[in-house]
């Protein structure tokens, strides 16, 4: 995955930094996740949920989602964090001694996936993901103001008041509807 996102420029000059996908297309992501259970959420042992550069979700299907963030400069010194999602099957390659599991408060069956989109002056950025369970609990991973880092909020935790920008600058764009 590229450490930056290719900027899409609309005819009116507005910039969009889209989510990067690897191993799955946007249209297939809903099918991959629909009604799957998240078994584990892992981050590198040296990181913490408030500053994670690498998040891995293990699904009951044997699939894994790897979440990372890219930082891209659009104008001047302003950099924006966008989310990357890689999907893969098979055995997780990370060493268990180098990874830590974040606690899931109870079974988490995926009901919906939203792109967390930052809407700024002349720029929109796919900054993160919100995964909602069928019973309404929420997992988020969203870029913050440290290049490449994300803030991870586990189900049952109090959501933050802001990520890289004030919360009011973000919208939740449904990728799928609740099943």
Distance of CA 114 to the CA centre of its chain: 9
Best-predicted range by mean pLDDT (13-17, 149-153, 162-166): 149-153
DSSP 3-state of 172:
strand
b/e map of 49-59 (b: 16 or more CB within 10 Å)?
A: beebbbbbbbb
155 — pLDDT class (breaks 50, 70, 90): very high
40 assigned to some structural domain: yes
With 60 as the cut, is the pLDDT of residue 92 above it? yes
How many domains, the chain?
Answer: 1
Tens digits of per-residue pLDDT, 34-91? 899 999 999 999 999 999 999 999 999 999 999 999 988 766 667 888 999 999 887 7
Determine the structural domain holding residue 59 and report its residue range.
Answer: 8-174
Is residue 71 situated within a structural domain? yes
pTM of the model: 0.90
Read off the pLDDT band of 2 (50, 70, 90).
Answer: low
Residue 32: inside a domain: yes
Tell me whether residue 154 is in a domain: yes
Q: In terms of C-beta distances under 8 Å and separation of at least 24 residues, what long-range contacts does 60-64 make, across chains too?
A: 60/36, 61/32, 61/36, 62/89, 62/90, 63/32, 63/36, 63/87, 63/88, 63/89, 64/88, 64/89, 64/92
Q: For residue 160, tell me if it sits in a domain.
A: yes
Asked if the structure places residue 2 within a domain, the reply is no
């Amino acid at each position: 995955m590229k450490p930056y996102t290719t900027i899409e420029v609309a005819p009116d000059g507005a910039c969009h930094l889209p989510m990067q996908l690897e191993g799955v297309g946007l249209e297939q992501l809903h099918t991959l996740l629909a009604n799957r259970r998240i078994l584990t959420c892992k981050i590198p042992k040296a990181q913490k949920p408030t500053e994670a550069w690498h998040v891995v979700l293990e699904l009951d299907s044997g699939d894994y989602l790897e979440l990372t963030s890219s930082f891209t400069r659009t104008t001047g010194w302003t950099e924006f964090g966008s989310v990357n999602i890689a999907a893969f099957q098979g055995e997780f390659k990370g060493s268990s001694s180098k990874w830590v599991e974040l606690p899931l408060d109870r079974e988490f069956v995926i009901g919906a996936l939203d792109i967390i989109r930052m809407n700024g002056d002349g720029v929109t950025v796919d900054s993160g993901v919100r995964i909602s369970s069928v019973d309404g609990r929420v997992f988020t991973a969203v870029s913050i103001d440290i290049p490449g880092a994300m803030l991870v909020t586990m189900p049952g935790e109090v959501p933050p008041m802001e990520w890289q920008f004030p919360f009011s600058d973000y919208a939740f764009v449904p990728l799928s509807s609740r099943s």
